[in-house]
Amino acid sequence: MSKRNFILLIITMVAVIIAVLGFLYFRPGATAPGNNGTGTNFFAQFNPFGTRPTPPTVTPPVDVSGYTPPESSPTASKLMKISTMPIAGFTVFSKERLKEVPVAPAVPTTETLPTTTKKTKKVAPTSPPTEFAEALRYVAKATGNIYQTFVDKIEERKFSTTVIPKVYDAYFGNHGESVAMRYLKTDGNTIETFVGNLPKELLGADTTANNEIKGSFLPDNVEDISVSPDTSKIFYLFDSQNSSRGNMVGTILNFSNNKKVQIFDSPFTEWLSGWPNNNMITLSTKPSGEALGYMYTTDSAGNNLSKILGDINGLTTLASPSGKLILYADNNLSLGIYHTDTRNSDILSLKTLPEKCVWGQVSDVVYCAVPKLASAGEYPDTWYRGEVSFNDQLWKIDVKTGNATMIADSATIAGGEEIDGTKLTLDENENYLFFINKKDSFLWGLKLR
């Protein structure tokens, strides 16, 4: 082979080798079986500018169990203890308060406002929005101080500093702005009754504890008090002691002008009163299981005294707002409804005392605290004397059908605390039922709707 041909052969082989190396260099790297695209080209291992392998995309596992985490939401018991101390009496009333309005966040701006030499008219500030809400006022049994709170937001606050020790009973009137308190004098034998007007509150101002209650006293030995449905007046019974046998006198006091009008008197001194509507006052004999009881009605002027029920041992009564229905019980706690127009009675399946009940405003329903078990005894005497204490459930009775439905059981809702309900009261809209637990005199509330 000539020297010239040998040189051409060498050049051709070098060219072929360069071509092969270029092909291998620029073609995609081979993928190793089973490596799922993660392998690299052999020559690329020696190329410092070669492309790094792309990590595989990882898909998160999918939950196919169907489980959905529960939404967290606050839970509240329908039955709640309201007061932090034993109370002598309470009222529900509508109270104005400032309405909570969410404040919109300020929007920052870089805009430059033009200056002007014009005088701008001053605009008076607008009044903040307000609303009316249900509120409670009650009297502390030990001190006579008055406390209050809104119903939808329990925040107990002291309202007055007037001290009246050991108040036995308290009655509010004039839409919560007047109060009558009964207590024993220091001699331990004379009942004294103080009637006072509460100071006005300033809207939006915080409740102060420096409020004093100013008022006057009713005659000694007031035996019973009832508040009119419009809360503007009270009817009270007291022993005038004009004779050796005594004489019970019934008087109406008007809170607005302090005017008193006597409308009733009787040589019989054992009476309990009620004021179901503005035109009717009821008078029932104080009950005893060993004595026949009677019930009478009169108008607010003291006229037309009429017998309604009688000859029932241990008779206790509660008239409806219409005055046409009388809830009553005997010495066995058997409950019934007497119709004053037809003079017929409907016997109910529940056993309790009418004073452990309250009528709805249109006389269509009755709410009652009903003992789970009432042992044999002389009723209502043993309950009045505190020899027997009940463990109640709360029931709703449909007057038209007579059907009764249990709406609360203290054993399951109130954490097992036993309740012996008395002085049951509904708010104006019948959204809440309030009562005092006779066992310890604490105030409770039940949300109905």
Q: Phi and psi at residue 399, in whole multiples of 5°?
A: -65, -40
Residue-wise pLDDT for 168-195, tens only, equals 999 999 999 999 999 999 888 899 999 9
Dmax (CA) for the chain in angstroms is 167
Residues 141/184, Cβ–Cβ less than 8 Å: no
Residue 446 belongs to what H/E stretch?
strand 443-447
Least confidently predicted of 39-43, 142-146, 230-234: 39-43
pLDDT value at residue 116: 56
Most confident of 65-79, 125-139, 307-321, 406-420: 307-321
Number of H helices, E strands in the chain: 3, 28
Nearest to 280 by CA among 265, 293, 263: 263
DSSP 391: -
Closest C-alpha to 132, from 433, 383, 428: 428
Rounded average pLDDT over 90-113: 74
Is this model's pTM higher than 0.85 or not? no
* Token pair listed for 164: 């009246």
b/e per residue 375-387 (b: at least 16 CB within 10 A)? eeebbbbbbeeee
| Beta strand extents in 9-166 (DSSP E only) | 79-81, 87-98, 130-140, 146-150, 157-158
Q: Is the pLDDT assigned to residue 54 strictly greater than 60?
A: no
409 residue type, one letter: D
Strand pairing report for 365-371 and 357-359: antiparallel
| Residue 295 and residue 310 in contact, taking contact as beta carbons nearer than 8 Å | yes
pLDDT digits (tens, 9 = 90+) for 209-249: 578 899 999 999 999 999 999 999 999 999 887 544 568 99
Q: What pLDDT does 42 receive?
A: 34
* Structure tokens given for 284: 């029932």
Helix (H, G, I), strand (E, B) or coil at 18: helix
- Over residues 191-215, the mean pLDDT reads 81
- Most confident range (mean pLDDT) of 77-81, 117-121, 125-129, 332-336 is 332-336
What is the three-class DSSP state of 192?
A: strand
Mean pLDDT of the chain: 83
Question: What pLDDT was estimated at residue 128?
Answer: 80
pLDDT digits (tens, 9 = 90+) for 250-296: 999 999 999 999 999 999 999 999 999 999 999 999 999 999 999 99
The confidence score (pLDDT) of residue 200 equals: 85
